[in-house]
């Protein structure tokens, strides 16, 4: 479905960038934002679209299309992931770059927001083709990257190996090692400990704080997780380990499984690795992704794609807390419905900010060549996420708005202040 205007109205085709703009517009109205600053923040500052010729294993050359959007750098170098996906679009990359801008601001790290992507299906590429594609992207986009300009990271269907190839290619172009250009790298190339599960770990901190505010003991709370990729599987594991929750349902792109008595995260992770899907997990009932979203559980964790909770199904959501590990899983129309139902929503660019926070920690460690142990990273991540959560909650109470609007108000005000102080508008 599409948010066809700043009002966020939905119709037949969803446009994530229109949705991101609608969310900004709402925050600007609440804040009484200067119209010139508002106009500047509605659009990316810079974007690049590139054609990437790649020699395939059969000797032919295939042309891939790539993007990099640097949305706003008023608070510091832009930061954001690289996605390899067959349905990648420039509007989705723009939206994700905008959300990265607000994400960095809401956790108060000195970075702006960026995002990149390549239109491709990684399942159809060999390791050699994937490496050549990764290096081709850096050869084209590397001129606008750098530790003081724009720092990519892994995202959908990219991983530490791809980041290693990209960091190496950039270093070749520079003539010296420059690990700080990329985060999410392997540890041996300057990566940070805790980076692999940082997104989910930050989300668990937010769930813990939300439960405390609501006077709920997390032990034994039931959880349903839509999406069982990196964030989803770590959420299942850490939810059990850190919060004592009971995971009763999980799903992936092929469907979901449910067991009221609980699913053992370690076992279903092993099953997914062995079969490629959560379907067929022993002792579990098969359900659809839509069924999972509407289950009567304490915590719902959307960790899949955009636009999953919308005007058509939001009234059927029964969770007490929604913790958005995915980007843009809830439309503006759905937000209003959930707010009226009294569901406590932890918005995406707060809930999933653990990843960029530890990526920032990786940049800091790269900059001075000294690396922290895992406990130090975990403690500093928990501190950052806790502070950000309560800043948003307090803004929601003060302004009498929903949590997403409050998160936007906190983040947009910080970016707007930087824009104003720098004399941009």
- 197 pLDDT more than 50: yes
Distance CA 153, CA 103 (A): 14
Six token digits for residue 273: 């690795």
pLDDT at 289: 92
pLDDT at 15: 87
Domain containing 129 equals 41-180
What are the catalytic residues?
Answer: 115
Indicate whether 152 and 121 sit together in one domain. yes
| Residues forming beta bridges with residue 250, ordered by sequence position | 225, 257
Indicate whether 160 and 273 sit together in one domain. no
CATH of the domain at 264: 3.40.50.720
Distance CA 170, CA 30 (A): 43
Indicate whether 159 and 213 sit together in one domain. no
| Residues forming beta bridges with residue 221, ordered by sequence position | none
Residue 305's nearest CA partner among 403, 196, 232 is 232
- 7 pLDDT more than 50: no
What is the reported pTM? 0.91
Neighbours of 406 (CB within 10 A): 25
| Residues forming beta bridges with residue 119, ordered by sequence position | 85
Q: What is the mean pLDDT of the chain?
A: 94
Indicate whether 124 and 54 sit together in one domain. yes
Distance CA 425, CA 416 (A): 9
**pLDDT tens across 146-155, in order?**
999 999 999 8
Q: Would 8 be classed as within a structural domain?
A: no
Indicate whether 167 and 274 sit together in one domain. no
CATH of the domain at 61: 3.40.50.10860
Distance CA 224, CA 256 (A): 10
The average pLDDT across 125-136 equals 98
Indicate whether 150 and 203 sit together in one domain. no
pLDDT at 13: 66
Distance CA 297, CA 347 (A): 18
């Amino acid at each position: 479905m599409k948010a066809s205007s700043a009002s966020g109205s939905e119709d037949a085709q969803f446009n994530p960038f229109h949705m991101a703009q609608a969310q900004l517009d709402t925050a600007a109205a609440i804040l009484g934002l200067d119209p010139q600053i508002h106009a500047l923040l509605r659009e990316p500052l810079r974007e690049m679209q590139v054609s990437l010729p790649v020699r395939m294993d059969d000797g032919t050359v295939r042309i891939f299309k790539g993007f990099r959007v640097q949305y706003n750098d008023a608070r510091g170098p832009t930061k954001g992931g690289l996605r390899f996906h067959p349905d990648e679009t420039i509007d989705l990359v723009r939206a994700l770059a905008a959300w990265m801008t607000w994400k960095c601001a809401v956790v108060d790290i000195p970075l702006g927001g960026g995002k990149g992507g390549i239109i491709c299906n990684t399942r159809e590429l060999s390791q050699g083709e994937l490496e050549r594609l990764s290096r081709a992207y850096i050869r084209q986009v590397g001129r606008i990257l750098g530790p003081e300009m724009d720092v990519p990271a892994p995202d959908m269907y990219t991983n530490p190996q791809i980041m290693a190839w990209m960091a190496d290619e950039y270093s070749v172009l520079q003539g010296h090692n420059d690990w700080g250009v990329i985060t999410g790298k392997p540890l041996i190339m300057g990566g940070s400990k805790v980076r692999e599960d940082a997104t989910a770990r930050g989300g668990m901190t937010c769930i813990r704080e939300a439960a405390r505010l609501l006077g709920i003991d997390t032990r034994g709370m039931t959880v349903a997780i839509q999406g069982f990729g990196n964030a989803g599987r770590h959420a299942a594991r850490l939810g059990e380990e850190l919060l004592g929750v009971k995971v009763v349902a999980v799903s992936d792109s092929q469907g979901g499984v449910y067991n009221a008595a609980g699913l053992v995260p370690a076992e279903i992770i092993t099953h997914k690795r062995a079969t490629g899907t959560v379907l067929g997990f022993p002792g579990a009932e098969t359900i659809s992704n839509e069924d999972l979203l509407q289950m009567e559980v304490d915590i719902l964790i959307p960790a899949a794609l955009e636009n999953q909770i919308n005007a058509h199904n939001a009234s059927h959501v029964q969770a007490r807390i929604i913790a958005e590990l995915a980007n843009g899983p809830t439309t503006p129309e759905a937000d209003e419905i959930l707010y009226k139902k009294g569901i406590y929503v932890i918005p995406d660019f707060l809930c999933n900010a653990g990843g960029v926070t530890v990526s920032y920690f990786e940049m800091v460690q790269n900059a001075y060549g000294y690396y922290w142990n895992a406990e130090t990273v975990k403690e500093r991540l928990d501190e950052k996420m806790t502070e950000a959560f309560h800043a948003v909650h307090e803004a929601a109470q003060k302004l009498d708005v929903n949590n997403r609007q409050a998160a936007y108000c906190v983040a947009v005000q910080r970016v707007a202040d930087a824009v104003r102080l720098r004399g941009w508008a």
